[in-house]
Amino acid sequence: MREKKKEIPEGVIRRMPRYYRKLRELLEQGVDHISSGELARIMDVTASQIRQDLNHFGGFGQYGYGYDIEFLKNRIEQILGLDKTYGMVIFGAGNLGSAMAKHTPSIPLPHHVQALFDNDPAVIGTKVGPYTVLDTADFATYIAENPAEIAVLTLPETQAQQVADLAVQGGIRAIWNFSPADIQISDPKVVIENVHLSNSLMVLTYHLSTQ
């Protein structure tokens, strides 16, 4: 009988990048080990929260010593899939898409932009950083020859679903959606991360209005 895969709570997964960033900072400061209590103090969380989160993946701490920071950082890299490389294609060569194409290579993560697509004839063929904007209509041909894992959507709401479907048909396995649309994909193996910038802004204005 096949063992059922352990389900990790979404909240735990979303806290792991924060641990990863802090561990990198500590290594750069010359710190080589740390207790859960010390880590909790500088991250403003509880030590039990850290231990519970890490225990989902095996724990990694040593009683009386704490965590070996480099070892733990490397393990979290593996947990988050950062020990692999991922190709990304961006749909939408407007302000946001262009900024991401220009600046994503400077982020120290194993995600590399392969191509930038748009359907505006005035934009197709122009240069954005090192990329020549390609026609969205040519995506199927492009992806057949240049496989990628992630599609970034920086599109108007009216175009997002159609382009998401096109991306999935081409073999894309993850969608990073910056459009206002709530994308619906029938394939459960395709991962969607929605980043609604207006929602974050509304949370800010809520807190401002209730002060």
DSSP 67-108: EEHHHHHHHHHHHTTTTS-EEEEEE--SHHHHHHHHHGGGSS
Phi-psi category of residue 193: left, alpha or beta, with phi > 0 → left and psi -120 to 50 → alpha: beta
Kindly list the structural domains of the chain, giving each domain's residue range(s) and its CATH number in brackets, ordered by start: 10-79 (1.10.10.10), 86-200 (3.40.50.720)
Query: Per-residue confidence at 20, pLDDT binned at 50, 70, 90?
Result: very high
* Residue-level pLDDT at 4: 42
* Residue-level pLDDT at 111: 83
* Block residue for tokens 């209005």: 209
Whether the pLDDT of residue 120 is over 50: the answer is yes
* Residue-level pLDDT at 103: 83
Q: Over the stretch 22-74, which tens digit does the pLDDT of each residue have?
A: 999 999 999 999 998 999 999 999 999 999 999 999 877 666 678 999 999 99
* Residue-level pLDDT at 174: 96
Whether the pLDDT of residue 1 is over 70: the answer is no
What value does the CA radius of gyration of the chain take, rounded to a whole number of Å? 20
Within 8 A by CB and 6+ apart from 168, the residues are: 175, 185, 187, 190
